[in-house]
Structure 1
Amino acid sequence: MISSQSFPARCLRRLPALALAAALAAGCSPRTNLATVVAQAETTPIPHAGDAADDPAIWVDRHDPTRSTIIGTDKLGGLAVYDLAGAQIQYLPDGNMNNVDLRADVLLGGQPVALVTAGNRSTNHVAIYRVDPATRMLVALPAELAPTIEIYGSCMYRSAADRRVYVFVNSKDGTVEQWELLAAGERFDAKLVRTFDVGTQTEGCVADDQLGRLYIGEEQIGIWRYGAEPGAGSTRTLVDSTGAGRLTSNIEGLALTDGPNGGYLIASSQGDSSYALYRRGDNTYVGSFAIGASASSDGVSATDGLDATAASLGPRFPHGMLVVQDGANDGGNQNFKLVPLEALPLR
């Protein structure tokens, strides 16, 4: 999934943070003034070799944030759950999971649960789970969400107006479907409420529950902002683009996080192994950064999915965390890298 504009992954994987800036200036990337951060931890590699790891989601344990977890997709086999040290505590071989998302406090059977959705490309449906807060494990829920399109990417949205929960599903031909999740006792049904066309291949998406927005990465073109409510239609605004913009195709993972100045949108610019930051409110570009190597972790290249939280997660990540997929993990299968949120050039 790397374009001809990309630079070798070795430019990032083995370079410490200080050396990375010099390498980038020497021609490994067209980006200038690129900030560099390092990961504080990394997860156990995904069980399958090759291009397998894809997208993470962060579950925050509000009662004891140190017990928070990372849920990561294995697009060749299932879902993995990791603790904040990166150790795998669960693996579900449930199919080729591509993207994963989570919303806390969704009512199921009259009780609030942390709801997890993942696009299962083996069965072409959206798998639905809840997090068991006692064990931190995922528990599969009976559900019926089978898109009419071939599923590729997916993400969740909860309306601030009426608390209804939706899943957006997109396909390689650019079609997007919006499905409303309907709790029926201890299970979920789903209803198709909207369909629109982005244009060409999409995958990464993220919805802003507070502002009612949906961001979608059209991989070769740019990041689009749509309304997230079912009646929003196909009206859209271009946030940033490849070519004359600040992104290098493919445009992959998208995430939102709270923070100064209203919070941020974070995008994976996969073609040059960098990440772009935008203000959450007006989507003004803030800057870009890369993740270099440290004494405890190799650097990161060719990221697919990512997620972020500004919640304090205890001593390891007191100000929040960014989790990114690493497309070329040194010495093993692909995995996920964990970066302190305060290390990012947020301003």
Structure 2
Amino acid sequence: MRSTYWLAALVPLAACATGPAPYTGVTATVVAMNETDPMKGEGDLADDPAIWVNTSDPASSLILGTNKDEGVYVYALDGGELQELPVGQVNNVDLRGNIAVASNDSHNVISWFDINPETLAVSHIGNSPTGKEEPYGICAGMTGETYKAAVTFKDGTIQIWSATWETVNSLSPSLDRVVKLPSQLEGCVFDDANNRLFVGEEAFGVWAVDLKDETAEPVIVDTIAAANGLVEDVEGMSLWIGDDADSGYLVVSAQAADRYVVYDRVPPFAPRGAFTIVDNEATGIGGVTHTDGLDISSAPLPGLPAGLLIVQDDANPVSEINQNFKMVDWTAISEALDLN
């Protein structure tokens, strides 16, 4: 395992970026076309979704979502709840192929799940220890046949784990790398084709970690201070993948501003604008506020030829009451921001 520690040089940068920055760029509006059943009850329950695409029957694709008090919930594309997996206090969830991972701070572990493409049942395989308290964010990636899981922590640590399909089943991933950033982290997303990891530092901005070169220092993608739309807290993030490794977009939740900032997927990571999700008057589906986690699939789904964005909604319609996940047609976002 190779460790990279470079905290001291960057603390001043993080310290100067507190509070919302003024933003005068493009802010488009879109509406949600569907939503999941609510997590009934009071409190900050829903957090992070992940989209599993059934390649043999896209209409039978699934949505996994975390309940921070209980575990992982499973939904159909129509939003109906299918399963509850009470594995503990999980914060984030992500997947590659038929394997999902979740950050479980009840037991300080990565929780592993199998998705059966025939029965559409999600099962808890088991847990693997992180060796560190309170795993917070998590994201999954693939490098060739190697499964990757990045776990983020509130002290700025990123753990990058790897596993073969055999070691997934035996719950014995290897810790390949540790990267240290200045302050609290949560959201992250792997760009598999470019061997890159994007990570959100909540009070500062977004970083890109080169997974090809362990000696390379993380690169700043954007900061709150740059006034491109980010505010504290920088939260969930995901990628819309284009036709090749150079095309596509990174979407990041600027939680306190109730908006999402869009960037080019590749350097120099140019900002392309921001959008908010407002009330859908035609369907009665409410707008979205204070989003924590989000996920994107660029795979065609029924009625969604360019894919789907799904986001956590804090207020449904009142803050911390019946929280759920809202779904947005990617085509609407692309048209609203005039993306390619």
TM-score (norm 1): 0.84
Correspondences of 1:317-328 after superposition (within 5 Å): 317-328=304-315
Among 288, 311, 315, the residue aligned to 2:274: 288
Q: Structure 2: how far apart are the matches of 1:194 and 1:186?
A: 21
Q: Structure 2: how far apart are the matches of 1:185 and 1:149?
A: 22
Residue 324 of structure 2 corresponds to residue 309 of structure 1:
no
Are residues 222 and 184 of structure 1, via their aligned partners in 2, closer, same or farther at CA, if it must alter by over 3 Å?
Answer: closer
Unaligned runs of 5+ in 1: 7-28, 105-113
Q: Structure 1: how far apart are the matches of 2:189 and 2:217?
A: 17
2:55 corresponds in structure 1 to 62
Correspondences of 1:257-268 after superposition (within 5 Å): 257-259=240-242, 262-268=247-253
Q: Is the 8 A contact 1:204 1:305 kept in 2?
A: yes
Correspondences of 1:1-347 after superposition (within 5 Å): 5=20, 30-104=23-97, 114-160=98-144, 163-182=145-164, 183-184=166-167, 186-229=169-212, 232-233=214-215, 235-246=217-228, 247-259=230-242, 262-282=247-267, 283-295=269-281, 296=283, 297-315=285-303, 317-330=304-317, 332-344=321-333, 345=337, 346-347=339-340
Q: Structure 2: how far apart are the matches of 1:279 and 1:185?
A: 33
Shift of residue 49, structure 1, vs aligned partner:
2.2
Q: Which amino acid aligns with 2:73?
A: A
* SS of alignment partner, residue 141 of structure 1: strand
Provide the alpha-carbon RMSD of the alignment.
1.9
Count of matched residue pairs? 310
Q: Structure 2: how far apart are the matches of 1:31 and 1:185?
A: 46
* SS of alignment partner, residue 327 of structure 1: strand
Residue deviations 1:286-331 (CA, integer Å, cap 9, x gap): 111100001221100110010011111113x232100000111116
Q: Which amino acid aligns with 1:280?
A: R
Q: Which amino acid aligns with 1:207?
A: F
Unaligned runs of 5+ in 2: 1-17
Q: Which amino acid aligns with 2:312?
A: Q
Q: Is the 8 A contact 2:25 2:273 kept in 1?
A: no
Are residues 185 and 177 of structure 1, via their aligned partners in 2, closer, same or farther at CA, if it must alter by over 3 Å?
Answer: closer
Are residues 233 and 157 of structure 1, via their aligned partners in 2, closer, same or farther at CA, if it must alter by over 3 Å?
Answer: farther
Are residues 79 and 55 of structure 1, via their aligned partners in 2, closer, same or farther at CA, if it must alter by over 3 Å?
Answer: same
Shift of residue 135, structure 1, vs aligned partner:
2.4
Q: Structure 2: how far apart are the matches of 1:78 and 1:234?
A: 36
Identity of matched residues, %: 37
Are residues 234 and 73 of structure 1, via their aligned partners in 2, closer, same or farther at CA, if it must alter by over 3 Å?
Answer: farther
Q: Which amino acid aligns with 1:245?
A: A
Q: Which amino acid aligns with 1:100?
A: V
* SS of alignment partner, residue 291 of structure 2: coil
